Amino acid sequence: MDLFYRSTRSNHDAVKASQAILKGLADDGGLYVPESVPRLDKSFEALSEMTYQETAYEVMKLFLTDFTESELKDCINKAYDSKFDTEQIAPIVEAEGTYYLELFHGATIAFKDMALSILPHLLITSAKKNNVKNEIVILTATSGDTGKAALAGFADVKGTKIIVFYPKNGVSPIQEKQMITQKGENTLVVGITGNFDDAQTGVKQLFGDKELAERMNQAGFQFSSANSINIGRLVPQIVYYVYSYSQLLKMGKVEKGEKINVVVPTGNFGNILAAYFAKHMGIPIAKLICASNENKVLYDFFETGIYDRNRAFVLTSSPSMDILISSNLERLIYLTAGADADKNVAFMNSLATSGRYEITADMREHMKDFYGNYASEQETTNTIKTLFEKTGYVIDTHTAVAACVLEKYKKETGDETKTIVASTASPFKFTRSVMNAIDIKYDTMGDFALVDELSKIAKIKVPNAIEEIRTASILHDTVCEKEDMKAVVMRFLGI
C-alpha cells in the first residue's frame, strides 16, 4: 500500500514520496510528513543479521513506497559504498558504559553523509519517475556540515546544480575549507554576512518566491532542497537508529525488546526527529534526550512549552548547533497537534511575527518521551577532556554536548537505562576546539599540525576528508549580504 505525504501547513492533496522529495518544501511553506508511521515488518533477530545496506532497504521501503525494489536498492548501493571508511557504515564504540554511534565515517566526516550520500540518487530517481525535464537546483543553508555533505553528494551529478549558503564567520576553519575548496562545475558556495538563521530564512524565502519560480521554470530550472526539511533527508536518518539497536542485540549488549535511551546533539531537530520515527516504527526507545549547546532554545521549549527565539545568538565550539529556529520541530508540532494543519499554521505565524509560540498542555503530554538539557562551553570542554583521560577515546564538541547532557539526565533521574549517543562528527572536523579541551598548550599549533597531533594521541588515522584539503585551492570566494541572496542565485543560473 502506498504511503502518502501531507504538508504541515495545509490539508491539500497528499503527494507520493518521490513528489515530496522533489519539492523539498511544500508550496505553502510547510514540511512534508507521512500520513502514518509504518511499523517494521522484520523481527529484531532478522534485522540483527543484516548489513547496513540491507537494514536501509527494510526501513526505507516502508516510507518510499512508490520506489520499486530495484530503484531503491540501486540508490542504497550507490550511497553506502567505499565512500565510507568502514564496512559497518555506522559502527558502535563503547566508552564508560555508553554506546557511541559513530555517524561520521562518510566522505565529509559528519553525520550528514548518512543521508546526503543517498539523497542525490533519490532525487534523480524521483525526477525520472515524475517526468521532470527541468534541471534541479539544490538550494541549501548550512551551519557547517550539511553544506559540504550536500556539495560532495551533488558535485557533477548530471541534471543538477547546487548552491550552498553559510554564515561567513559562523563555521569552523575546517568546515569552511571543506566547502570553499569543493570542485564541480555545478557547485556554488556563498558566505553570508549573518548567522545560520539568516541563511535558513533567506533560503525559505527563495523557495516561496513565486516570481522567481516562474522565471526559473522558463529558463529550465526548479528548486529542491538538501536540508533536513526534505523528507528524503529524514527517512535515511531513521535507518541508523534501527541499525544501532539491532547491532546492540547482535553484540549481546541488550536483550530482545529491552528499552534503550537515545541522546542526540540537536540544532535543527531533524536527527532526533528521525529517532522519534524509529521509536514509532517499533524500536524500543524509552527517552529521546535532546542535547543543546548555549543556544538552548530547545531546552527551554521542553522545560516550559514555550518556543522563543528572541534571545542573543551565541557562537559556540559546536557551530552545527548554533541555531535558534529549529525547522524540523515543526513536524513534531504538527504531529502532536493531532496532524491539525490550522493549529500548526497558527504556531508558525506566531513564530514569524513575534518570534515565539506556546503549545498546549495536551501537546506537551504527547512530548513526554522527550527530555531536554544543555551543556555550557566549559562543560563541553570538560567532557572531552575527562573522557579522553579516562578512556583514550576522543569525541568532537557536538558529541561532547550530548555526553554531558546524558550525565545531567542520569543525575537528575537516576535512570541507568543503556544509552546510545549519536556521535555526529569526527573530532578531526573541530580539531582546535577538541585539542584545546584536552590541553590548552595545543593552541599555539597550526590547524594541520593539530590534525597530526590528534591522530597521534587518539591513535586514529587522519581521515581522507582532511588530507584532501591540506593543499586544496580555494575555488569559492563569494560573500554577500543576506538581502542579496536572490541576486546571487539568479546570477549563477544566468537568469
Q: C-alpha grid cell for residue 46?
A: 532478522
326: CB partners within 8 A, 6+ apart: 266, 267, 268, 269, 297, 298
Cβ-contact 248, 260 below 8 angstroms: yes
Cβ-contact 17, 6 below 8 angstroms: no
- Residue 148 annotated among the catalytic residues of the structure: no
Catalytic residue among 23, 42, 61, 112: 112
- The DSSP bridge partners found for residue 34 are 5
> Quick count: other Cβ atoms within 10 Å of Cβ 343?
17
Distances in Å between the Cα of 209 and the Cα atoms of 28, 214, 222, 280, 343 are 11, 9, 12, 35, 24
Cα–Cα dist 229/485, whole Å:
19
225: CB partners within 8 A, 6+ apart: 24, 25, 138, 139, 140, 203, 207
Query: 32 in helix, strand or coil?
Result: strand
Cα–Cα dist 405/318, whole Å:
14
Strand-strand pairing, 221-224 and 306-308? unpaired
The amino acid present at 123, given as its one-letter code, is L
Burial of 97 (0-12, 13-18, 19+ CB in 10 A): exposed
Cα–Cα dist 138/134, whole Å:
12
Rg (CA), the chain: 21
Instruction: State the SS3 of 261-287.
Output: EEEEECCCCHHHHHHHHHHHHCCCEEE
Using alpha carbons only, give the angle 71, 76, 79 rounded to the nearest 5 degrees.
125
> Quick count: other Cβ atoms within 10 Å of Cβ 226?
30
Active-site annotation, residues: 112
